[in-house]
Structure 1
């Protein structure tokens, strides 16, 4: 029986679960087996995240009988280009990834965007799983299937709506976030309270001292409620034609 708290994104035959649990990265081998991953798995990450987490993810994949392929990108927004996507695609082709092969997007929003977009176009679509390591990614960009890259004429001009097979969230990864990124994530969380759930907003006000100290229990509950709100919005407006646009403000 799966004891990990989950949130469901309901999208008919493309529905998926968001698993949220402190220490989940230590149990990813179990999750890989539960989801039936086989053969090759591409782990897309950036250099900073790789230094902290890549080794344990690679080991978990090997212990689950998988063939992990690490695809390490330069960190930051400047990597959100078609050239970086081509780098990912080259690695997949070189290692002979098939349509049943999976990608894991291990990192923040940039990594998730790049891995998701590459997954959406390689062999007309292969499954991918989001493993977000920043607060913004955990409560926002990893959920909902928006992927894309920048163009010299504008941000996110090239992309697709392509839902992940799952989202695996370990709130403990947030302990290493720079203050600036932590605050940016809190702003997204507070926005959910303002636009969608007054009781959640009041809860955030009460728990702000604990949030500042990154209490594991409070952070996990805040991430879960944020994902519930995002999942409900995505379920009613997947392609951002109406209600989902409110999340852009």
Structure 2
């Protein structure tokens, strides 16, 4: 049981932070194997655990001060109720038999990992990416984009995304606005399109062409992405015309 609790305390905070990063959009371009996950968890464990331990020690300080105040009022020794501070890995390991400590530590880890992931995605990720791209430019290499995968960069964005889906040979085109899209690491590439009739008529009526294409060479799928401004302008013109598309 002790080994199980130790595994949770020494791996779960890093894993929580890793999944927060994924939810905030820092998605890896491939799935990690178990050994890589252990390494990532170990790297993320340190900042999350340090903040959680500092928060726990502060809570212990407040609790012990309260006991000091209570002792002065009731004139009864409450030394056996005092909690010990965590100052090293040995004292951390000694606390693993305390169920309240485990719950408190995991709660603090959940909160601290959220803020670490949020600060990293908001500030440090952009700073790191900027410096990496400066070095890549000096080596005559293309810049890295803000997104980790092509799928994420093109399709998981805010606003209307009107696309044309077909096979590479161009047969059976399907046009519509993306409503839902699979996440980057899902095994299948799936899209849900809405207003297919409306956008098919709009594109045919104003002879709009895709601005760029996403090609999946493995499945033979081709997705044409239309310019958002052209779609918007065409909708404005069509709505003002005498025979708008219904």
Normalised to the residue count of structure 2, the TM-score between the two structures is 0.21
Normalised to the residue count of structure 1, the TM-score between the two structures is 0.21
Structure with bigger gyration radius: 2
Bigger fraction of residues in strand = 1
